[in-house]
Structure 1
Amino acid sequence: MTATTGPADSAERPQPLTIAQLAELAGVSTATVSKVVNGKSTVAPETRMLVEDLIRRHGYRRQKKRASAAPLIDLVFHELEGEYPMEIIKGVERVAQEHRLAVVLSELQGRHVPGRGWIEDVLSRRPAGVIAVFSGPTQTQRAQLATRDIPLVLVDPTGDPGHQVPSVGAGNWSGGLSATRHLLDLGHRRIAIITGPAHALSGRARLDGYRAALDAAGVPIHPDLIVEGDFNIDDGLEHARRLLALPDPPTAIFASNDAQAVGVYQAAGEAGLRIPQDLSVVGFDDLPMARWLIPSLTTIRQPLAEMAAAATTMLISLAQGEPLPRKRLELSTDLIVRKSTVPPRR
């Protein structure tokens, strides 16, 4: 006798469920489930959460072949300011053009998590894939992308992307180590750091590299020389002012990105200090502006364009149904010594 499986046993099914099966489990219409799957906003929040939870637990199986993806890559930034986004765009465009794909830009106005309007727009466009830079969709949004077979790759993820989401980053810890070690080798001992925001994985890794370098050199870590920033010029200026006003100010500052370093230059000028004679400065990123600052900025080169190109190549492979050799790719960073660092004055 062959056993039959009814709706009540759907939770035991090893295979993903169809819209009809999800609707039966949720006690709603197939039209409602379809709206959730397609990111429509005209569904009650409680119903949406119920359906999305079922999709996460059971998976979703399309009964019809997926419509062809549009020849687009959705590229989303937390903000489009400064040279950092331009370096990423260059890398994405280089690979996208080779595959005759257009690039659509989205900005989250400083947020690191997209809102509902963003996911609805992406699902309606049906792109070949999504690249999220220093930001990332929520678990629910990731599930919505997955149900539409839209691959996702993260660049410079703000947090731990986990094992499921492919990502590309840089050697932030080794970069922080190299920057601090360079200053130590010059003879500096009062070395301050302006970090990135606490939620940013890259900022925490650069701080850990800074701490490791000081610890290896036997130099005490002074809490008053560690200040948390937000990767922009204004916080570099504000924190450098405070650091330089200390009774025993630092002889060197490691800014966790080049934008913060620009703020440090401004604060030094206000305090009547010369760079590098009175204050050495190291940045992070090696954006084009680093070469044009006066004096030119010693910094850690983060290969942003190469990171973006690698992420785009990964995305295209996923869109073509090809497996990735590895989900996490980390590119190396390099110390670029210019004119903003010298031994401290005795």
Structure 2
Amino acid sequence: MAAPTQQRRSTTLAMVAESAGVSVATVSRVLNGRADVGAATRERVERLLRQHEYRGRKRAPVRRSPATARLELLLPDPLTAYSIEILNGVRDIGVPVVAGVFPDASIPPGLWARDLVAAGREAVIAVVADLTDEYYQALVRAELPLVAADPGTVPRPEVASVGATNFAGGMAAAHHLLGLGHRRIAYVGGPPRAAHNQARLHGLRAALEAAGCPPPPSYVKPGTFTHEHGLVAGSALLTLPEPPTAIFAASDESASGVIEAARGLGRRVPEDLSVVGFDDTQVARFSSPPMTTIRQPLREMGRVAARTALRLAADESPDSFHIELATELVVRRSTAPLRG
């Protein structure tokens, strides 16, 4: 896919100010994220900045010491086995990186982006969560490329992204459980609006509908990708009048909660309940029993995101602006044929 159209460099603050009917100083305050600009004026100026494709003056190359970080990696808080796998992939590239959480809403976007430039960052990688439009525009003005890794929403066309084949992963989980004889199959999901959660659910549902056993609404439990949600949702599912015989969870963390819920209710895994996770982190490998899961290549996702970010920082076009890495079923001991 071709790189996005390069923004014009001839636009000046004076041109934007004239179009907006304000002073150059007002435009500068908007760019710097100052609070002393009216909301209507700020919106008008930001719209014109985007229309004029203003990027400001090209910043001079940063003189680096070997220890200077080149990439800013934004991770969801708190850190989990999932995000640590992506972090390790970014580190595999061999360039210095600083890992942190998403900026606090109280920090002006322009100030945040300028601080990243001053610290020598060349690009930003955002994992799962998505930056607001204000923070994205601040990165554009600061000439810091953004790469979305496993984005929670469909990224805008001009933002490079790296994800996984979530729909295919959901189908693989369903086919595995159907092949073991299960027909009452439930889903313990993540946030309802998250694109990757919806893709996993739709993949599962497509396979189950094709097999003639679509899950009833009571079998679908959205929430978060956490152990705590798996515990609560698993308990609710297993105490239904007609409980499922198998549960597909949208993450290894939530699958571990389902297994704990089953154990607390006297259900054995996999003899009484089969459980499939998603991610293939250490949580799946160290689970008791070891967990059948859909592997998404998180470490490779981190490596691809880092390579893409560095290419964009060098004004080079990546091989593809939107990449999906293949998922695969990993069978361990948390699933078994339906009994009786």
TM-score normalised to structure 2 length: 0.90
Could you tell me how far apart the structure 2 residues matched to 1:259 and 1:183 are?
19
- For 1:221, the equivalent position in structure 2 comes to 215
TM-fit CA distance, 1:67: 2.9
CA deviations on 1:286-339 (whole Å, 9 max, x unpaired) are 001211111100000111110111011011000001012321000000100000
1:121 aligns with 2:112: yes
Could you tell me how far apart the structure 1 residues matched to 2:164 and 2:108 are?
27
Could you tell me how far apart the structure 2 residues matched to 1:230 and 1:291 are?
21
Query: Which structure has the bigger radius of gyration?
Result: 1
1:314 aligns with 2:330: no
Matches within 5 A, 1:141-290: 141-290=135-284
Match of 2:30 among 30, 36, 59: 36
- For 1:66, the equivalent position in structure 2 comes to 59
- For 2:5, the equivalent position in structure 1 comes to none
Which stretch shifts more, 298-307 or 119-128? 119-128
In structure 2, list runs of 5 or more residues that go unmatched. Answer: 1-7
Could you tell me how far apart the structure 2 residues matched to 1:18 and 1:26 are?
13
Change (3 A) 1:331 1:118: farther
CA deviations on 1:152-186 (whole Å, 9 max, x unpaired) are 01011111113211100001000000011100000
Change (3 A) 1:316 1:77: same
Q: Contact between 1:74 and 1:129, CA under 8 Å: does it hold in 2?
A: yes
Could you tell me how far apart the structure 1 residues matched to 2:240 and 2:79 are?
31
**Secondary structure of 1:55's partner?**
helix
TM-fit CA distance, 1:45: 3.3
Change (3 A) 1:137 1:168: same
Q: Given residue 92 of structure 2, which amino acid in structure 1 is its aligned partner?
A: R
- Figure out how many residues of one structure are paired with residues of the other and give that number: 324
CA RMSD of aligned residues (A): 1.9
- For 1:11, the equivalent position in structure 2 comes to none
Could you tell me how far apart the structure 1 residues matched to 2:230 and 2:301 are?
25
TM-score normalised to structure 1 length: 0.88
TM-fit CA distance, 1:15: 7.5
Matches within 5 A, 1:40-59: 40-59=34-53
Match of 2:78 among 56, 75, 80: 80
TM-fit CA distance, 1:40: 4.1
Change (3 A) 1:61 1:190: closer
